Amino acid sequence: MNQRHFSPRNHPWWRHVPPAERGRRAWHIRRMRIAAWLRQRRHQMVLILLFYGLLCLLPLLIGQPHLSAYALLPVLLVPPVAYLGYLLAWHEFHR
């Protein structure tokens, strides 16, 4: 069964759920799925980066583009510096 398009209403046991409980159970299943999605590390990292990006671009809306540029510098500079550190450590231990 395709997990993307899975609906609890398609499950064979769904017809045995009392009609008064169906809405609450469907909402509970949806909440559990969202919580499971948020527990995945890659989704957490994407959400954190999006939040940081929006936070950095906030001064741009206020009219301070230089402050936004300074706030985005760590996002742009940390990966190359980390790679350089890794490369230097690798060369140190493999020569």
Average pLDDT, integer, range 59-81 = 88
Task: Give the pLDDT mean for 23-47.
Answer: 91
* Both structure tokens of 60: 């741009």
User: Is pLDDT above 60 for 2?
Assistant: no
The answer on pLDDT for 1 being more than 50 is no
Question: Angle of helix 41-62 relative to helix 19-38, nearest 10 degrees?
Answer: 80
pLDDT at 34 over 80: yes
Alpha-carbon torsion (57, 62, 68, 69), positive or negative: positive
Residue ranges covered by each domain of the chain: 8-38, 41-93
Give the C-alpha separation, 30 to 28, whole Å.
5
What pTM value is reported for the model?
0.55
Residue of 47, 83, 54 lying closest to 71 (CA atoms): 54
